[in-house]
Amino acid sequence: MWGGALLVLLFSAIGADAQAVARPVRPLPGPVVPPPGYRRAIERGTRTADGRPGPRYWTNHALYDIRAELDPATARITGSETIVYRNNSPDTLAQLVLHLHMNIHREGNVRNEPQEITGGVELVRLAVDGTAITQGPLNQPGRWAASATILRVRPPRAVPPGGSATIAVDWRGVFPQASSGRVGWSAREVYFIGYWFPRMAVYDDLRGWDAQPYLGNAEFYDDFGDYRVSVTVPTGWTVIGTGALANPEEVWSDQTRRRLAAAARADSVVHVATAADLGANRVTAAPASGRLTYRFAADTVRDFTWTASNVQVWDATSARVPDRNRDGREDRVLIQSLWREQRAPLWVEMAKYGKHGIEHHSRYTGLAYPWPHMTVVEGQDIVAGGMEFPMLTLIGAYTGTPPGALYGTTVHEIAHMWVPMIVGTNEKRYAWMDEGAATYLENLARRDYELGDSAEGLERENYLSLARVEGEQPLMTHGDYYETIQAYLTASYPKPATLMVTLRGLLGGDTFDRAYRAFISEWAFKLPTPWDFFATVERVAGKDLDWFWSSFYYESWTLDQAVGAVVVRAGGPVVVIENKGYAPMPALVRIQTTRGGTLDRTIPVETWLSGADRAEIDLPAAVGEVTRVEIDPDGLFPDARRQDNVWSGPR
């Protein structure tokens, strides 16, 4: 596999005695050459050339202890956290790097879309291993410096391999009403809080510290960590967060606990908190202090997110997933939906959507959903579409949308629980890896739910409509560097989903499914790259697919095959197939004849890789006349102009 999309041009000389003039005939896909950091990782044994994690693979680890209090009336958050950061790498770390994502809302910081100015994150105290760290140049220990959303810290002592550092941070800030459709509040009665605390950046085996500023468009790259989080809110406010609630008896009423216990065993929907329950204050406990503190624990997750409300009704059921604890029985996952009846009437079915999404994706990926709950939160005014977080997703009301739209968004966001929440891809650099996978799983789930639409066909057309006007940029483009939002969205969602369908058609369903499940299994709770995915597919398929990755991922070449002609020669009819586009692909040709019946023929991809732009299929005279020719009759491949894929002749 090795290569960037190198173009190899074939040339022809004009005139035997004249000066040779080079004429480009067809660009050919070159080998896929991974970047130097990936090649070094293979040499060092942290990754392998066949796509598996290597025997020396490592990731660093952080244990977070966070204490926070929200004032819903002002959207102000006050927090204190301790991070124990363990250096599992072979390198000595002279600096520690953290993300301050909410600094996208600080005045003067760079961003690629308008944002509400709230002041960002105010650091009140910062210490490492008990030593106070002050703001200043990083040329000496004991200093910190912030640039946009990146915080760099020079600890008193470098952190050696196998060592750890304890970082203590006190901070505060004000949440915006809506932050890039990911975080915010609605009418100060619903809060959805993500990317809200100082968090360690990734130090990996490819680039070392891979910390890039959050500009509002491209998403995130995170390590896995363990979290112990307490959130304090006024009495009457529900809080649901990533992980398991450690103190339900302190925060929920007896009625709420009973209903949740019933929902955790049910296949039908249980109304945990109705509007009447909320109005009568029957949902939460009512301590004399007037405040509730919810305590959560979550291990091996990318992030910690939470939601709070005093008005949302609460439905719950449970999903059945394959045996996770190996006791011979299927397991249950609590499915929860929180929504406002007047704002989001279509949400009445949401708990069922969540149940189906978890069950479908667990079956297809071969990896049962590993966590205790999946919670879907209505966030009208915060988000229009949806946004994913570990064990939670935020979705708009979807009022007035076509049937199936809310279901599709729900199972799309739930698909992200596998990529990138379990398989920790770098969303910022390679948005296609998680968004394409989620779109692919969404479309499979839609079919399984029998919605009656052709989602895969719609995704393909969405991709090709931009390809036809040459508005694409390659999938390997960094998420912040697309020239247009259309190019970013196409490269992130419909095109990579379409390419997964294409691969399935190219390799066969069983082979592709085995390859995809191998990638999910081998890279669960690790940090894979595109080259790990490419090599895994090639290993399982037993094929060199550099031509495919180079043409469709590194380049924005399009597939455009056509039936050029049907001619009759002395030996019999000849079908001429043309390759008009730059992207190569086997040509699957179905030919109908008057005496030979229906014939299937394949022009192998090697024909186009040799530089040819046309090929002939010779048929014996015994077949009679050719009456119809069609390329790719089953619609497996993304041909940009299918109207010339069919030829019909006289009968």
Give yes or no for residue 12 having a pLDDT over 90: no
Helix (H, G, I), strand (E, B) or coil at 338: strand
Helix (H, G, I), strand (E, B) or coil at 192: strand
Average of pLDDT values for 94-115? Answer: 95
What's the pLDDT tens digit per position in 359-405?
Answer: 999 999 999 999 999 999 999 999 999 999 999 999 999 999 987 99
Query: What does the pLDDT read at residue 20?
Result: 41
Average of pLDDT values for 566-578? Answer: 95
Give yes or no for residue 21 having a pLDDT over 60: no
Give yes or no for residue 6 having a pLDDT over 70: no
Q: Rg of the chain's alpha carbons, rounded to an integer?
A: 28
CA distances from 295 to 67, 85, 373, 477 (A): 9, 21, 15, 40
Query: What does the pLDDT read at residue 649?
Result: 86
Average of pLDDT values for 89-100? Answer: 98
What's the pLDDT tens digit per position in 182-239?
Answer: 999 999 999 999 999 999 999 999 999 999 999 999 999 999 999 999 999 999 999 9
Written as one letter, the residue type at 9 is: L
The first and second tokens of residue 487, run together, are 């190019």
Q: Which one, of 372, 349, 350, 368, lies nearest residue 358 by Cα?
A: 368
Helix (H, G, I), strand (E, B) or coil at 257: helix
Query: What does the pLDDT read at residue 172?
Result: 97
The first and second tokens of residue 79, run together, are 């927090």
Rounded to whole angstroms, how far apart are CA atoms 60 and 343? 43
The first and second tokens of residue 361, run together, are 């994706």
Average of pLDDT values for 606-628? Answer: 95
Q: Average pLDDT, whole number, for the chain?
A: 94
Query: What does the pLDDT read at residue 4?
Result: 37
Query: What does the pLDDT read at residue 441?
Result: 97
Q: How many Cα atoms sit within 13 Å of 254 on the Cβ side? A: 0
Rounded to whole angstroms, how far apart are CA atoms 219 and 465? 25
Q: Angle 69-74-79 (CA atoms, 0-180°, nearest 5)?
A: 25
Average of pLDDT values for 61-86? Answer: 98
Query: What does the pLDDT read at residue 5?
Result: 36
What's the pLDDT tens digit per position in 358-370?
Answer: 999 999 999 999 9
Average of pLDDT values for 452-465? Answer: 90
Query: What does the pLDDT read at residue 17?
Result: 35
Query: What does the pLDDT read at residue 88?
Result: 98
Average of pLDDT values for 87-104? Answer: 98
Average of pLDDT values for 417-423? Answer: 98
The first and second tokens of residue 555, run together, are 């380049």
> Does residue 420 have a cis bond before it (omega within 30 degrees)?
yes
Give yes or no for residue 18 having a pLDDT over 60: no
Hey, how many other C-beta atoms are within 10 angstroms of the C-beta on 289? 10
Q: pLDDT band for 651, please (50, 70, 90 cuts).
A: low
Q: Cβ distance 77 to 120 under 8 Å?
A: no
Give yes or no for residue 9 having a pLDDT over 80: no
Helices marked H in 16-125: 36-44
Rounded to whole angstroms, how far apart are CA atoms 333 and 319? 5
Q: How many Cα atoms sit within 13 Å of 339 on the Cβ side? A: 26
Mode of pairing for the β-strands spanning 614-618 and 164-174: unpaired
Give yes or no for residue 22 having a pLDDT over 60: no
Q: Cβ distance 209 to 97 under 8 Å?
A: yes
* One-letter-per-residue 3-state SS of 622-651: HHCCEEEEEECCCCCCCECCHHHHEEECCC
Return the axis-axis angle of helices 485-492 and 494-507, rounded to nearest 10°.
30
Rounded to whole angstroms, how far apart are CA atoms 42 and 575? 47
What's the pLDDT tens digit per position in 485-502?
Answer: 999 999 999 999 999 999
Q: Cβ distance 115 to 213 under 8 Å?
A: no
Query: What does the pLDDT read at residue 13?
Result: 33
Judging by beta carbons within 10 Å of its beta carbon (0-12, 13-18, 19+), is residue 132 exposed, middle or buried? exposed
Buried b (16+ CB within 10 A) or exposed e, 457-473: eebbebbbebbeeeebb
Rounded to whole angstroms, how far apart are CA atoms 564 and 645? 9
Q: pLDDT band for 14, please (50, 70, 90 cuts).
A: very low
Q: pLDDT band for 454, please (50, 70, 90 cuts).
A: confident
Q: Cβ distance 26 to 613 under 8 Å?
A: yes
Return the axis-axis angle of helices 431-448 and 405-415, rounded to nearest 10°.
130
Give yes or no for residue 24 having a pLDDT over 80: no
Give yes or no for residue 509 having a pLDDT over 50: yes
Q: pLDDT band for 15, please (50, 70, 90 cuts).
A: very low
What's the pLDDT tens digit per position in 578-602?
Answer: 999 999 999 999 999 999 999 999 9
Query: What does the pLDDT read at residue 25?
Result: 67
Rounded to whole angstroms, how far apart are CA atoms 403 and 65? 43
Q: Cβ distance 2 to 546 under 8 Å?
A: yes
**Concatenated DSSP letters of 114-174:** --------EEEEEEETTEE-EES-TTSSSEEEEETTEEEEE-SS-B-TT-EEEEEEEEEEE
Average of pLDDT values for 422-448? Answer: 97
The first and second tokens of residue 627, run together, are 């009456």
The first and second tokens of residue 69, run together, are 């209090």
Q: pLDDT band for 434, please (50, 70, 90 cuts).
A: very high
Q: State pTM to two decimals.
A: 0.94
Give yes or no for residue 19 having a pLDDT over 50: no
